[in-house]
Amino acid sequence: MPQNKQILLVSRPTDEALVSNFKLISSETPALQDGQVLVRHHFLSLDPYMRGRMNDAKSYAAPQALGQTMGGGTVGEVVESKNTQFAIGDKVVGMGGWQEYSVVDADQPGALRKVDTTHIPLSAYLGAVGMPGVTAWYGLVKIIEPKAGETMVVSAATGAVGSAFAALSKARGCRTVGIAGGPAKCKYALEELGFDVCIDYKVHSDATSLSKALKDACPNGIDGYFENVGGMVLDAVLTRMNAFGCIAVCGMIAGYNGAPMPLTYPALILMNRLKVQGFIVSEHMEIWPEALQELGKLVATGRLRARESIAQGIESAPEAFLGLLKGKNFGKQLVKLS
């Protein structure tokens, strides 16, 4: 059986996550039992939620256990099979974790899904046609419920979720405004992702300044906001929300390393009669098929061309992950494993 390099979580961060929280080991993959398959991972997905799993804190999901392989989404290829539903060569999506191979009990519901790579690249099943894309779809379609002509705003606009949000929002006839960090990301948002406007939040030192930029970008106010960041960005957006607008709270990455994020004007939620709703995409599995169908069409027809940041080799995963938490990624952050 092949040697398998794996990254374990060996300690928990006190504030900022560090490379020393992780450890690389190598072990032989175990022999397969009946019903199992051996998957060779081509790509590992790195996602902001993994930072929360590193803490031993109350959350919607159990913490990542110490001394165990870090969990995470993977795409790859079946290289050995003792399961009649999976053949060698099948391309599959699963939760293989931060390692080069995984042994999967493929009869477990949801453990492994075969995918078609004829029109959609394998890596896209971890991004635009995977969990991040469905996240954008759920927040926009099921929580914000946009109408054509309304104004939608999304933060972390050029990331895996934000880029899918842009395509979905434009497809519904909405004015779509992104907020992203730096001129290169904003240029890409306009030229490749189809945003009507992209605001570089890094040129604004405070919420008042960002609020002025939002006023110019959203002359009719903001009807729907897809929140990925929190902090100063949320403060600024709140000042421009229309009455009866909606905020889908998807993530608050600015606080994932422990920084406090006080809300400056919470009374605006009352004054503008806003609907503010958080959600976790994995709690809404019933909508995945419909969402994946739309996202798959957008990717296959070139209307969603999401960029990927690809780190090479499992050894690079911790650095790439810490970079994601600081905005060093440009689009969906992946690790290429074979």
Name the site residues for ligand NAP (rule: CB under 6 A).
47-49, 132, 135, 156, 158-162, 180-181, 185, 228-229, 250-251, 253-254, 279-281, 324-327, 329, 332-333
Query: Which residue, 40 or 204, is less far from ligand NAP as judged by CB?
Result: 204
CA distance 242 to 253: 24
In whole angstroms, the minimum distance from the beta carbon of 249 to ligand NAP comes to 8
Query: Which residue, 259 or 271, is less far from ligand NAP as judged by CB?
Result: 259
In whole angstroms, the minimum distance from the beta carbon of 131 to ligand NAP comes to 6
> CB neighbours of 274 closer than 8 A, spacing ≥ 6?
241, 244, 245, 246, 247, 268
Query: Which residue, 112 or 156, is less far from ligand NAP as judged by CB?
Result: 156
In whole angstroms, the minimum distance from the beta carbon of 167 to ligand NAP comes to 13
**Which of 126, 208, 199 has its CA nearest to residue 161?**
126
In whole angstroms, the minimum distance from the beta carbon of 255 to ligand NAP comes to 8
Is residue 85 helix, strand or coil?
Answer: coil
In whole angstroms, the minimum distance from the beta carbon of 82 to ligand NAP comes to 33
Whether 178 and 159 have beta carbons less than 8 Å apart is answered as no
In whole angstroms, the minimum distance from the beta carbon of 196 to ligand NAP comes to 17
CA distance 128 to 160: 7
Query: Which residue, 133 or 146, is less far from ligand NAP as judged by CB?
Result: 133
Query: Which residue, 39 or 232, is less far from ligand NAP as judged by CB?
Result: 232
Distance (Å) of CA 331 to CA 64, 71, 73, 226: 25, 21, 16, 17
Query: Which residue, 254 or 291, is less far from ligand NAP as judged by CB?
Result: 254
Going along the chain, which residue ranges are E strands?
A: 3-9, 22-28, 36-45, 74-81, 91-94, 101-105, 112-114, 151-155, 175-180, 197-200, 222-227, 241-249, 275-278, 308-312, 332-336
> CB neighbours of 191 closer than 8 A, spacing ≥ 6?
none
In whole angstroms, the minimum distance from the beta carbon of 168 to ligand NAP comes to 13
- The DSSP line for 20-39 is GGEEEEEEEPPPPPTTEEEE
CA distance 237 to 243: 13
